[in-house]
Structure 1
Amino acid sequence: MNKIELLAPAGSLEKLKTAILFGADAVYCGGLNFGLRAGADNFSVAELQEGIEFAHQRHKKVYMTLNMIPHNKELAQLPEYIEKIKELNLDALIISDPGVFAFVKKEMPEMEIHISTQANNVNWASALFWAEQGAERIILARELSRAEIKEIAAKTEGQVELEYFVHGAMCISYSGRCLLSNYFVGRDANKGDCAQSCRWKYHLVEEQRPGEYYPIEENDQGTFIMNSRDLNLAEEIPELIEIGLSSLKVEGRMKSVHYAATVINTYRQLIDQYYQDPENYEADSELLAELRKISHRDYTKGFYYGEPGSEGQRYQSSSYLRSYDFMGVVKDYDAAAKEVVIEVRNKIFKGDELEFVVPGQKTFTSRADYLLDEEGTEIEAAPHPKQLIRVPLENEIPSGSLLRRQKEN
């Protein structure tokens, strides 16, 4: 059995490296143009090169998004952009527009192409069409049920790979094809600049009664009528593998390093546990609980079991659930002193109970009985981002591990 790919978001070079260290088989990222995530840090050509080398040294892959739906003026910039990325040793390009697809096929005939979810891939005929044009993989729309995915997999078996989103934000529109943001604030979702207008609070106004606001539901504070919950299919891993998918994709190029590490570490361990003993596999409850320690909205199974209806939305609020703070990144371990060197991200106090997130392992907690600054002086708190400190830790852990702290009630 070929092991299914775990595909991680990489909104920056740091997130790319974090995702790979925590178990991603491949990452997807955007360049400075054509990538549908204007709010992400995105990559310069030099950063892309560094990221690709980092991944390939560890036998991992890098896919780059080229999935914007360009108007003529943007399309005019494509030839120059393609010339730049020709020099990179990318593993695949993610494309949605047929014109961009044709141009890349002509200019980069050896490049592997994955058809973006932006192309609204919801049936087997569409998948076979793209396969006949030379696409190696289809990224299926989130709006598919398991029955539909099974049928697509059965009718395309051996002809094209299939990829499916298993975790992250859902869109109120159809696979991101939305005009709300453009209408309200002039920021185009189809060019990567969505203002997430669907998360805003709305009231109803009758045409002949301007200024009279009627709550649509819930109470007189209004309601978040289009606020989708976040997708979480961690418990469905066995069936997703058995259906015949090639890749399980995590959404979140604009999310934090902590998000990337926790989600990928969790899915990596769950997938590996399944392959170790498929017949007796049961999802590890401790690992599933990890997905509630990141910043997230209430979870949903999306369209996997059919139309989600009101269960796929949260009408009371669009805010995130945050039960833990991301505190720092492990830079080194001093075995002689039994101390871990930490790059601080949020203020750490002496006596804090810190939870360590380690690649390939379950998290554990250790108390910071003392803090030392770079000169070895004991301090009561480490308040400065990027400050290097030492904290006692009995067991050695690798660089790149993260630490967090539970929020007080």
Structure 2
Amino acid sequence: MGKLRAALHYGADAVYLGLTGFSLRAKAGNFTLDTLRDAITLVHEANKRAYVTINIFPHNTDIAPIEGHITALNDLHPDAVIVSDIGVFDMIKTFAPEIPIHVSTQANITNYRSARMWERLGAKRLVLSRELTIDEIRRIRDAVSIELECFVHGSICLSYSGRCYLSSFLANRGANKGLCTNSCRWSYQLVEEKRPGESMPVYEDNRGAYILSPRDLCMVEHLDKLAGAGVDSFKIEGRTKGINYVSGVTKIYRDAIDALAAAPLNSAWLKELEMFSNRGFTTGMYFGRHPDSDYSYDETHAPATYAIAGVVKGVTGSTATVLLKGNLAVGDEVAFLSTAAHNGSYIINELRDAEGQISGIAHNEDIVFMEVPEGVKKNDIIRRRV
């Protein structure tokens, strides 16, 4: 729920979320049916949209539970359901016919004939495969009249999205059931058949080799090209990321989208995105074949330069009430991520508790009072340089 609130606060038009049993992010800290109801209500109160994911590839034993889940969604009124399996698509048409259907990127829509077929079946939106070029997207746009969505930021799967058995093979956890171990991100060494036990490095640094790990997708500098190709919705991947990532990345893409018709490219966007944990950036296959240089051969990720330190619960004058999400001390360098204004970093000079006592350090889940720059408001996050 914290990530949901952060996404809405920083400008998301819609969120996608789901239950553990039917989502391809089974370990993402998902919702129960009761909290899903609360989440959808919160989204609708903010005049935004909530899309529920039922995008696993189900087996026979999954059908009855999914049928019950779909029936329950009738009372929750999500704005759409995201599916990848045609049987689940048919079940929604049968048991929840009023709920619009979005076809997941897991369905791997890579051509206009496939897009036309889903349109004829009654899909409202297609979340296109990550393996398409911008020219291919334009060709699909010419062939259909329904909404098109594509990913613009976040992790990229080594395989065609979701069609991977590496996690199942190495860890007995199926990616297509929401249990991917990200085995492609692990460090690997090469062993020659006739020399067992003698491992050899492959593009190795002091942490190992990461020959299967693509860099993260980042299209913030090219949103105009995607919009020009007819894309209706830009999607950010990151359900297993923290609030700091959700807040910052959402805000940057909100700013970039809002500037599409009014201003030239802002070079600061890419620099700001580099503040959050990443594996380096790539434009994926949007401009053609994924370059060999866009794999993280020599490092797993670039660590975040700022970590979340707290959430603003209210502002009176120049004083903010902050719920800490980590330790914070006098002398720390912090920055507020504000939707109202861009505020640079500054040094904390004092922290006060509820009794007005001044402390040199405060701890996770403490409530503190501190002076803040103009423009900071409720639900903004405070970040500490790490």
Rounded Cα–Cα distance in structure 2 between residues aligned with 1:397 and 1:326? 15
Deviates more, 1:320-329 or 1:213-222: 213-222
| Equivalent residue number for residue 334 of structure 1 | 316
> Is this contact kept in 2: 1:127–1:160, CA < 8 A?
no
> Is this contact kept in 2: 1:298–1:321, CA < 8 A?
no
| Equivalent residue number for residue 382 of structure 2 | 403
Please report how far the alpha carbon of residue 364 of structure 1 lies from its aligned counterpart in structure 2 after TM superposition.
2.7
Deviates more, 1:391-400 or 1:240-249: 391-400
> Is this contact kept in 2: 1:300–1:311, CA < 8 A?
no
Residues 1:249 and 2:235 are matched in the alignment: yes
| Equivalent residue number for residue 289 of structure 2 | 307
Deviates more, 1:206-215 or 1:218-227: 218-227
| Equivalent residue number for residue 69 of structure 2 | 81
Residues 1:162 and 2:124 are matched in the alignment: no
Please report how far the alpha carbon of residue 218 of structure 1 lies from its aligned counterpart in structure 2 after TM superposition.
4.0
Correspondence list, 1:319-398, <5 A: 319-335=301-317, 338-382=318-362, 384-398=363-377
| Equivalent residue number for residue 40 of structure 1 | 28
Query: Structure 1 residues 307, 345: closer, same or farther in 2, change over 3 A?
Result: same
- What is the identity, as a one-letter code, of the residue corresponding to 1:205? V
Percent of paired sites with the same residue = 38
Structure 1 unaligned blocks of 5 or more: 1-12
Query: Structure 1 residues 207, 176: closer, same or farther in 2, change over 3 A?
Result: same
Among 270, 281, 287, which residue is 1:288 paired with? 270
Among 51, 60, 68, which residue is 2:56 paired with? 68
Rounded Cα–Cα distance in structure 1 between residues aligned with 2:332 and 2:291? 43
Rounded Cα–Cα distance in structure 2 between residues aligned with 1:403 and 1:82? 39
Please report how far the alpha carbon of residue 101 of structure 1 lies from its aligned counterpart in structure 2 after TM superposition.
0.7
> Is this contact kept in 2: 1:326–1:345, CA < 8 A?
yes
Query: Structure 1 residues 262, 363: closer, same or farther in 2, change over 3 A?
Result: farther
> Is this contact kept in 2: 1:66–1:93, CA < 8 A?
yes
> Is this contact kept in 2: 1:268–1:360, CA < 8 A?
no
Please report how far the alpha carbon of residue 173 of structure 1 lies from its aligned counterpart in structure 2 after TM superposition.
1.0
Query: Structure 1 residues 363, 129: closer, same or farther in 2, change over 3 A?
Result: farther
Residue aligned with 1:359, SS: coil
Rounded Cα–Cα distance in structure 2 between residues aligned with 1:353 and 1:397? 16
Rounded Cα–Cα distance in structure 2 between residues aligned with 1:406 and 1:284? 23
Rounded Cα–Cα distance in structure 2 between residues aligned with 1:135 and 1:342? 44
Residue aligned with 2:259, SS: helix
Please report how far the alpha carbon of residue 321 of structure 1 lies from its aligned counterpart in structure 2 after TM superposition.
2.5
Query: Structure 1 residues 32, 194: closer, same or farther in 2, change over 3 A?
Result: closer
Rounded Cα–Cα distance in structure 2 between residues aligned with 1:55 and 1:361? 24
Please report how far the alpha carbon of residue 220 of structure 1 lies from its aligned counterpart in structure 2 after TM superposition.
8.4
Rounded Cα–Cα distance in structure 2 between residues aligned with 1:405 and 1:228? 28
User: TM-score, structure 2 length as denominator?
Assistant: 0.96
Residues 1:59 and 2:47 are matched in the alignment: yes
Query: Residue by residue, what CA displacement relative to the aligned partner does 1:175-224 show, whole Å, maximum 9, x if unpaired?
Result: 12111111111111011111111011111112222112122334686411
Residues 1:230 and 2:209 are matched in the alignment: no
Residue aligned with 2:311, SS: strand
Rounded Cα–Cα distance in structure 2 between residues aligned with 1:240 and 1:356? 31
> Is this contact kept in 1: 2:340–2:375, CA < 8 A?
no
Please report how far the alpha carbon of residue 369 of structure 1 lies from its aligned counterpart in structure 2 after TM superposition.
1.2
Rounded Cα–Cα distance in structure 2 between residues aligned with 1:196 and 1:148? 28
Residues 1:101 and 2:81 are matched in the alignment: no
Please report how far the alpha carbon of residue 86 of structure 1 lies from its aligned counterpart in structure 2 after TM superposition.
1.8
| Equivalent residue number for residue 192 of structure 1 | 178
Rounded Cα–Cα distance in structure 1 between residues aligned with 2:366 and 2:83? 41
Query: Residue by residue, what CA displacement relative to the aligned partner does 1:345-395 show, whole Å, maximum 9, x if unpaired?
Result: 12111122210001253243233211001221100011x211110111242
Rounded Cα–Cα distance in structure 1 between residues aligned with 2:204 and 2:237? 30
Query: Residue by residue, what CA displacement relative to the aligned partner does 1:74-127 show, whole Å, maximum 9, x if unpaired?
Result: 123222222222210100000000111111111111110000000011111111
- What is the identity, as a one-letter code, of the residue corresponding to 1:366? Y
Rounded Cα–Cα distance in structure 1 between residues aligned with 2:140 and 2:9? 33
Correspondence list, 1:83-232, <5 A: 83-156=71-144, 159-218=145-204, 222-232=208-218
- What is the identity, as a one-letter code, of the residue corresponding to 2:82? I
Please report how far the alpha carbon of residue 33 of structure 1 lies from its aligned counterpart in structure 2 after TM superposition.
2.2
Query: Residue by residue, what CA displacement relative to the aligned partner does 1:260-292 show, whole Å, maximum 9, x if unpaired?
Result: 1111111111111123x2xxx321122332111
Residue aligned with 1:77, SS: helix
Q: How many residues of Structure 1 are paired with residues of Structure 2 in the alignment?
A: 386
Rounded Cα–Cα distance in structure 2 between residues aligned with 1:51 and 1:387? 25
Please report how far the alpha carbon of residue 147 of structure 1 lies from its aligned counterpart in structure 2 after TM superposition.
1.2
> Is this contact kept in 2: 1:23–1:360, CA < 8 A?
no
Rounded Cα–Cα distance in structure 2 between residues aligned with 1:56 and 1:73? 33
Structure 2 unaligned blocks of 5 or more: none
